């Protein structure tokens, strides 16, 4: 190729030194390291020419950490490669696909939009929702539920107490919540699960993780690969602009005080009003058999979507970038190639099906453009108005060899738990209940539409309309013709993972399982979003290795499949770095919706049971965080015991013996009991000595052991106890009409006025 299209430039790379090549990469924001630059020079020396700016832009996207998983791939394959049992797992593409019932399946995926949300919280969060919807759509599923686990610094941080160039946590939180609200509500997908967590470690780099679940008839399942040479590559959806250029490169480096000014253009602009008809048009096209394969246009834009789609099928591609419909004039070819403008999908379509496809998208008023074709390979050939702009071996561009970075495993602390002061139990309980990580999220949940589509049977808030409390999981009815339900929950515990990455990660899986069992669901699948710091630091990658091992071990023990996931590195900057933060979106199957369980207490006189064995570990607990006691021993995970006890709870629930159930997690028994009482507008009386721990304060705050508090009708107590079999349990007290009485060996130690505490708990967060 002697002549390139107008607007396409050659970049002098072949004869440069590596230092000179590195300057070129830095000036252009390409993000190549020295080894990658050496590989590029060798390739183009063999080609006998210089690279074009279109080629380098595409290579930079595909070789970024965000797209290539070059640092994480060996660990992920080793940990999760065998957690995709055939028969249950039907697909592992842009989203994982799981069997639901004969003829039907569901899809799940969780990923991050951390850096964009740190720079522009409203737009970053909104386009995070847009992207996760497309991931689920890209396997043929219609999105039916959203989830939003969020991590911020303490809300009381003022502008003069955060580093230069960093926004205050309150500003970030309000913007992120508004972005999720506006996008999710307008596109018509309910937000049913999530969480909001606070820690100084997230001041510089907040985490905005977004999850989605979709539903589909099995014949609609579509692969993320091209079907045959000669098929057309069709771009559908939004117009292309300069927003989002370099987004994956931005996500593959740490934040600095200049990130706002330098990288704002890397944040995409969402359009939920277009997304809804795009979803509808795609689903109709799937059902008509007009789409053979597809990819969503996320990180890397057309370059990544078209390249990965073709290579996955074993093909090449030929397309003309000048055909891409633009939102603004003057975009250069390389900008069109890698722009991450939102609301776009790339479809593989047989030529004979193109006219019918055009008719569907025209009816929904969604743009459709035939960009080119799938070829026999092995090259990708990119034109601009019919004149060459790039010509590369596609495998060379798309596949980056995994890196073997060094790891340094830490030795977890085994510090013995200190004595918990027990002279004022009421103050202890109120302090835990009113801690920022415990306060009611009702005000935030209310701004999200969790009822749209009419599938939400068990809602995010449980209990009375006038005094709702937190639930463990939401339950959806995907098909009105079936009584089978799908439970959805999220789980995270960065504090336990900071103290002990391997055991902390296993505890996160256990918490997800407990949430599902508590709602009457059998754990089925999980998708993970693994948020970490700089992988070039051996300590960070050592934590990553430990976390993946802990997640995999617990998933195997409980029976979770792991069909999808995401890795987010480089979360940090300005001298700060987040703790290891694996976040899970987990699903479970409810065999019969009539036996779904909520957390709110139902009737005075009912018995209260603590199911599971109490242990005195306090590592990572809410009490330890409030008392600034890091490094304590993290609770030991026992996945097989969780599974066994959970199955017993499901058996009891199917007999109609369980009136309410809530897992014991952050804040220990103190927070669990109060949340159950809040939702029911009732009280409780419990004897803390029956937990088996040797101190009343420790019994209230300990989070060790996987446990649930279960309300059982008084006439069903003996049958419930028989149903539990060898599972550890204790009858700790009863439901009362008002207030929360804490006893120790029969003697009342304190009484908590629940009505007044509830009002402070309900209004204390101050968001949105």
Measured between alpha carbons, how far is 438 from 591 in angstroms, rounded to an integer? 31
Residue 306, phi then psi, degrees to nearest 5: -65, -45
400 tagged catalytic = no
Angle between helices 538-558 and 639-654 (to 10 degrees): 40
Residues with Cβ within 8 Å of 750's Cβ and at least 6 positions away in sequence, in order, are 424, 425, 426, 429, 741, 742
113 tagged catalytic = yes
Measured between alpha carbons, how far is 235 from 243 in angstroms, rounded to an integer? 18
Gyration radius (Cα) of the chain, Å: 27
Measured between alpha carbons, how far is 534 from 532 in angstroms, rounded to an integer? 7
Measured between alpha carbons, how far is 488 from 585 in angstroms, rounded to an integer? 7
Strand partners, 661: 710
Strand partners, 476: 456, 486
Q: In the Cβ-directed half-sphere of 187, how many Cα atoms lie within 13 Å?
A: 32
**Do β-strands 740-744 and 683-687 pair in parallel, antiparallel, or remain unpaired?**
parallel
Angle between helices 169-187 and 272-287 (to 10 degrees): 40
Measured between alpha carbons, how far is 493 from 156 in angstroms, rounded to an integer? 22
Alpha helices in 577-695 (DSSP H): 622-626, 639-654, 668-680
Residue 7, SS3 per DSSP? coil
Strand partners, 439: none
Instruction: Give the torsion through C-alpha atoms of 671, 526, 177, 431, to 10 deg.
Output: 10
Measured between alpha carbons, how far is 188 from 191 in angstroms, rounded to an integer? 10
Alpha helices in 364-411 (DSSP H): 394-398
Out of 113, 400, 470, 493, pick the active-site residue: 113
Measured between alpha carbons, how far is 49 from 47 in angstroms, rounded to an integer? 6
Please say whether the beta carbons of 294 and 348 come within 8 A: yes
Quick one: 92 exposed, middle or buried, by C-beta within 10 A (0-12, 13-18, 19+)?
middle
Active site residues: 66, 113
């Amino acid at each position: 190729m002697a002549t390139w299209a107008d607007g396409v430039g050659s970049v002098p790379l072949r004869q440069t030194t590596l230092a000179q090549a590195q300057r070129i990469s830095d000036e252009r924001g390409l993000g190549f390291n020295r080894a990658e630059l050496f590989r590029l020079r060798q390739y183009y020396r063999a080609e006998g020419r210089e690279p074009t700016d279109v080629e380098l832009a595409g290579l930079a996207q595909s070789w970024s950490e965000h797209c290539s998983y070059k640092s994480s791939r060996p660990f992920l394959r080793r940990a999760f490669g065998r957690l995709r049992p055939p028969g249950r797992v039907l697909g592992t593409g842009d989203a994982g696909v799981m069997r639901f019932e004969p003829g039907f399946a569901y899809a799940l995926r969780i990923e991050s939009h951390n850096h964009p949300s740190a720079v522009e919280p409203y737009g970053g969060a909104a386009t995070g929702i847009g992207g996760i919807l497309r991931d689920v759509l890209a396997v043929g599923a219609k999105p039916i539920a959203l989830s939003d686990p969020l991590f911020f610094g303490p809300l009381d941080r003022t502008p003069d107490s955060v580093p230069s160039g960093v926004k205050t946590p309150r500003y970030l939180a309000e913007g992120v919540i508004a972005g999720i609200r506006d996008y999710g509500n307008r596109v018509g997908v309910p937000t049913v699960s999530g969480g909001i967590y606070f820690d100084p470690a997230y001041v510089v780099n907040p985490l905005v993780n977004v999850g989605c679940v979709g539903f589909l008839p099995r014949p609609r399942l579509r692969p993320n690969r091209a079907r045959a040479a000669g098929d057309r590559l069709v771009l559908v959806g939004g117009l292309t602009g300069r927003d989002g250029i370099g987004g994956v490169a931005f996500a593959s480096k740490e934040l600095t005080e200049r990130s706002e000014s330098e990288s704002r253009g890397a944040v995409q602009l969402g359009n939920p009003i277009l997304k809804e008809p795009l979803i509808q048009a795609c689903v109709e096209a799937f059902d008509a058999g007009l789409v053979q394969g597809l990819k969503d246009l996320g990180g890397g834009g057309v370059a990544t979507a078209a390249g990965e789609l073709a290579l996955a099928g074993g093909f090449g591609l030929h397309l003309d970038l000048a055909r891409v419909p633009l939102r603004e004039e003057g975009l250069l070819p390389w900008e069109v190639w890698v722009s991450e403008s939102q609301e776009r999908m790339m479809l593989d379509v047989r030529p004979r099906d193109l006219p019918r496809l055009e008719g569907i998208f025209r009816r929904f008023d969604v743009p459709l453009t035939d960009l080119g074709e799938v070829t026999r390979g092995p090259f990708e050939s990119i034109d601009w108005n019919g004149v060459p702009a790039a010509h590369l071996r596609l495998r060379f561009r798309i596949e980056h060899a995994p890196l073997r970075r060094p790891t340094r495993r830490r030795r977890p602390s085994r510090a013995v738990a200190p004595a918990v002061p027990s002279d004022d139990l009421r103050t202890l309980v109120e302090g835990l209940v009113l801690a920022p990580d415990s306060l009611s999220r009702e005000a935030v949940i209310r701004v999200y539409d969790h009822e749209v589509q009419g599938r939400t049977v068990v809602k995010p808030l449980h209990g009375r309309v006038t005094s709702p409390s937190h639930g463990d999981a939401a339950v959806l009815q995907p098909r009105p013709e079936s009584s089978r339900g799908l439970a959805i929950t999220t789980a995270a515990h960065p504090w336990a993972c900071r103290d002990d990455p391997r055991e902390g990660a296993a505890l996160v899986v256990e918490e997800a399982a407990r949430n599902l069992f508590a709602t009457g669901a059998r754990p089925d699948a999980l998708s993970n979003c693994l948020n970490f710091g700089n992988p070039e630091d051996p300590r960070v990658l050592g934590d990553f290795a430990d976390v993946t091992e802990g997640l995999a071990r617990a998933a195997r023990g409980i029976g979770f499949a792991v069909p999808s996931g995401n890795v987010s590195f480089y979360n940090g900057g300005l001298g700060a770095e987040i703790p290891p933060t694996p976040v899970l979106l987990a699903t479970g199957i409810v065999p019969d919706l009539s036996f779904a369980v909520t957390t709110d207490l139902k009737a005075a006189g009912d018995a209260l049971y603590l199911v599971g064995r109490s242990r005195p570990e306090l590592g990572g607990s809410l009490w330890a965080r409030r008392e600034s006691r890091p490094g304590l021993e993290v609770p030991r995970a026992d996945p097989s015991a969780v599974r066994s006890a959970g199955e017993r709870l499901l058996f009891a629930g199917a007999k109609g013996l369980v009136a309410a159930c809530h897992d014991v997690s952050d804040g220990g028994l103190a927070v669990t009991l109060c949340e159950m009482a809040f939702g029911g507008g009732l009280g409780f009386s419990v004897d803390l000595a029956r937990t088996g721990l040797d101190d009343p304060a420790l019994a209230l705050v300990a989070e060790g052991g996987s446990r649930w508090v279960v309300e059982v009708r008084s006439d069903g107590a003996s049958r419930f106890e028989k149903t539990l079999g060898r599972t550890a349990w204790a009858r700790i007290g009863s439901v009362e009409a008002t207030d929360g009485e804490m006893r120790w060996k029969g003697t009342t130690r304190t009484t908590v006025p629940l009505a007044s505490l509830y009002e402070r708990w309900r209004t204390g967060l101050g968001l949105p």
